[in-house]
Chains A and B, each alone.
Chain A
Amino acid sequence: MTTDHAADLGDHAADIDKHVRVYIIVFVALMVLTIVTVAIARVHLPVPIAVSVALLVATIKGSLVACYFMHLVSEKKLILAVLLLTVVFFAVLLALPILTHSNGYWIHP
C-alpha cells in the first residue's frame, strides 16, 4: 500500500521540486547568516550582547537546518514529542552551571 510508505518514490515529483526550491532558499539564508555572524563578531560588542546576538543567529540557523533539511516542519508528532523532551532536559543541563554561577556557592565556597 503506497500511502503507508515512508518514501513514495516517483509519486510526488512536483512536491519534491517544491522542496528543492525551499532547500536552495534555506541554503542561501544560511550562507547570509554565516556572513552576518562573522561581521557582528568583528564589531567587538560588549561580551553579554555579543554572546546573545551570536547565539540568536546560531539558533535561527540551527532552526532552519532542523525544520527544513531535517524535515521537522512536516514530521510526525511522536518525533516532535521526543525532541520536546530532549529540549527540556537540554535546557536543564545548560541551566545548572548558570544557576551554580549566580549562586556562587560551588565556585567560591
Chain B
Amino acid sequence: MDIPYTVEVRRDTGLTNGKIGIWLFLASEVMLFGALFASYILIRTGSSSWPRGDSILNVPLATFNTIVLISSSITMVMAWASLMRRRLGTFRLYMGGTILLGFVFLVVKYFEYSHKFHDGLFPSSNNFLAIYFTLTGLHMLHVAGGMAVNAYFLGPGSKLYKTNPVWFTNRVENSGLFWHFVDLVWIFLFPTLYLL
C-alpha cells in the first residue's frame, strides 16, 4: 500500500503529510529545548553567583562551530534547490558538503569536551557545566541524527529520485527543515552558554 499524500497535497491541509508531520515534530522539539532553557533560566536566576561562559568555555572554537553550522544550513538549502532544478549531481555535492560540515562540528565539540574532561570539568562539577553538557549534548545528538538522515538521502535513499523525483525532493526538504532547526537551536545556545 502506498503512503498517501507524499507528492500531492491534501485538499484539507494544503500540505503533504510529510510536511505537516515534520513541523509537528519540530513543534515538540521546541518544547523539549524550551523546557531545558527554562531550567537554565531558573537555575541561573536562583543562583547567588554564575560564571560568564567565556571564563570557562572556548569562545573561538564555538564561534568557528557557529560559522560551520550556518554554512551547513546554506549547503542544505542549496541541496534542495538543486533538486528543484533537477540537478542530482549538484544535489550530491551540496548534501555531501552538509554532512561534512556536520562532521566538522562534531569533531570540534569532541575536542571541546575532551579538554573539559582533561581539566576535571564534568557535568557533576557545578550547575553551569551540568546545563552546558546537557544542552550541548542533546544538540549534538540532533546533529548526529540529522547527519544520519542526510547520509541516507545521499546514499541509498537517492534511488527514489529515479522513480519519483518529486517525492524525493519533498523528503529532502523535510530533512532540511530538521537540519535548519538544529542550526536555529545552536544560534540561541551559542550566546546564552558561551558569551553571557
Q: Which of B54, B73, B74, B173 contacts A24 (CB 8 A)?
A: B74
Expressed in whole angstroms, the minimum distance between the Cβ of A95 and any Cβ of chain B is 9
Question: What 0/1 pattern do residues 93 to 109 of A give for CB contact below 8 A with B?
Answer: 11011101100000100
Pair B37/A83 contact, Cβ less than 8 Å: no
Instruction: Give the interface centre of B19, B38, B66, B187 by most chain A CB atoms within 10 Å.
Output: B187
Picked from B7, B16, B63, B78, the residue with its CB within 8 Å of the CB of A20 is: B78
Interface size class of A (residues with CB under 8 A): 35 or more
Q: A16-B85, A90-B30, A93-B31 are in contact. Are A66 and B184 (CB under 8 A)?
A: yes
B195 touches A41 (CB 8 A): yes
Docked complex: B27-48 residues within 8 A CB-CB of A: 27, 30-31, 34-35, 37-39, 41-42, 45-46
Q: Which single member of A10, A57, A69, A89 contacts B77 (CB below 8 Å)?
A: A69
The interface residues of chain B lying within 8 Å CB-to-CB of A77 are: 14
CA distance A66 to B143 in the complex (A): 17
Report the bound CA distance from A61 to B66 in whole Å. Answer: 12
Question: How far, in whole Å, are A66 and B30 apart by their CA atoms in the complex?
Answer: 13
Bound together, the chains give a CA A8 to CA B103 distance in angstroms of 32
Selected from A9, A26, A37, A76, the residue in CB contact (under 8 A) with B13 is A76
Q: Is the CB of B24 within 8 A of A94?
A: no
Query: Shortest beta-carbon distance, A59 to chain B, in Å?
Result: 8
Contacts of A10 in B (CB 8 A): 84-86
Which positions in A face B, CB cutoff 8 Å?
Answer: 1, 4-10, 12-13, 16, 19-20, 23-24, 26-27, 30-31, 34, 37-38, 41, 47, 50-51, 54-55, 57-58, 61-62, 65-66, 69-70, 76-79, 82-83, 85-86, 89-90, 93-94, 96-98, 100-101, 107
Q: Kindly list 10 other residue pairs between chains A and B, CB separation below 8 angstroms, not including A69-B180, A78-B13, A79-B23.
A: A5-B8, A6-B19, A9-B86, A27-B71, A37-B190, A47-B196, A50-B195, A58-B192, A90-B31, A97-B45
